[in-house]
Structure 1
Amino acid sequence: MKRHEARQKALQALFQLDNTELLLEEAMNHALERSFEEAAQPAYDAFFEQLVRGTTEHKETIDEQLSAKLENWSLSRLPKIERTVLRMAVYELQFSNDAPDGVVVNEAIELAKTFGDEKSSKFVNGVLSKFIETK
């Protein structure tokens, strides 16, 4: 699985996990469209799994960092897709060294364009640029 596709699938799994009772593995299997038999074999793409598990495990810290960067917004008021894209991107920026910051930001912008509305990508870019500035 290519990294862009892994990010798309991870975004879908994380989106499902936000405010639902799904288990992590259920969300990952659903995002990957795995059958019941395939789901019994817990072999996931490593990058996809890292994104989903890492973002979930560090969610509290990520949310604190995001809240500190948001101007005139609260995390709970953000549209769900933007919140999910931002969480995943902040996970990559703060806790993973797998990709350069510019790549992470560009991928987040592309995800926001694909899954959000016309303003999503600009908003995501603005928030993530604050994380880049403070590095």
Structure 2
Amino acid sequence: MNRRVARVRAVQSLYQIEMTGVSPDQAIDTVLENGEISDSFLSQLVEGTVEHLHEIDELLISALKNWALSRISRVDRAILRMATYEMKCLDDIPMNVSINEAIDIAKGFTGEEESGKFVNGILSNIATKLSK
């Protein structure tokens, strides 16, 4: 499984966890398609995001301007949480890579350019905060 597919499956897993409260392992098992096997990067994204959710949400809230975290769609929230986890906790991935991947995934899920711009704006604010 390449990293792009792992990120997409991580977003799907995080969405499912928020909707149903299943465990990270159950969510990952559910989103894998025929013949796909989970890998360590997918598990790291899902489990790490869930473990650091409180810190991630604090960063997201501080980066939002005139928005409440609860007003963001669940899909965008899952994308933002996963990308924030990557940016904050995975030192081997450049922040701009995490941001660009999140933008592409947001556009792919919604089919709208606006979702990508929204994700870009929030993650750029977070990157600035994390770089200080």
Secondary structure at the aligned position of 1:33 is classed as coil
CA distance in 2 between counterparts of 1:117 and 1:34 reads: 24
**Count of equivalent residues:** 129
Structure 2: any 5+ residue segments left out of the alignment? Answer: none
Larger Rg: 1
Secondary structure at the aligned position of 2:20 is classed as coil
2:122 maps to 127
CA distance in 1 between counterparts of 2:17 and 2:48 reads: 13
CA distance in 1 between counterparts of 2:21 and 2:40 reads: 24
RMSD across aligned C-alpha pairs, in angstroms? 1.7
The offset of 1:117, in angstroms, is 4.5
CA distance in 1 between counterparts of 2:80 and 2:42 reads: 16
1:79 aligns with 2:79: no
CA distance in 1 between counterparts of 2:57 and 2:111 reads: 22
CA distance in 1 between counterparts of 2:28 and 2:34 reads: 9
1:53 aligns with 2:47: yes
Structure 1 moving runs of 4+ over 6 Å: none
* 1:6-55 CA-partner distances (Å, limit 9, x unpaired): 101111111111131322211010111379xx9xxxx7301000000000
CA distance in 1 between counterparts of 2:79 and 2:108 reads: 11
- Given that 1:112 and 1:120 are in contact with CA atoms closer than 8 Å, whether structure 2 keeps it comes out as yes
2:110 maps to 116
1:23 maps to 23
CA distance in 1 between counterparts of 2:2 and 2:124 reads: 25
Q: Which amino acid aligns with 1:95?
A: C
Percent identity between the aligned chains? 45
- Given that 1:92 and 1:98 are in contact with CA atoms closer than 8 Å, whether structure 2 keeps it comes out as no
Higher helix share: 2
- Given that 1:105 and 1:128 are in contact with CA atoms closer than 8 Å, whether structure 2 keeps it comes out as yes
CA distance in 2 between counterparts of 1:11 and 1:98 reads: 20
Structure 1: any 5+ residue segments left out of the alignment? Answer: none
TM-score by length of 2: 0.91
TM-score by length of 1: 0.89
The offset of 1:95, in angstroms, is 1.1
1:101-112 equivalences in 2 (<5 Å) = 101-112=95-106
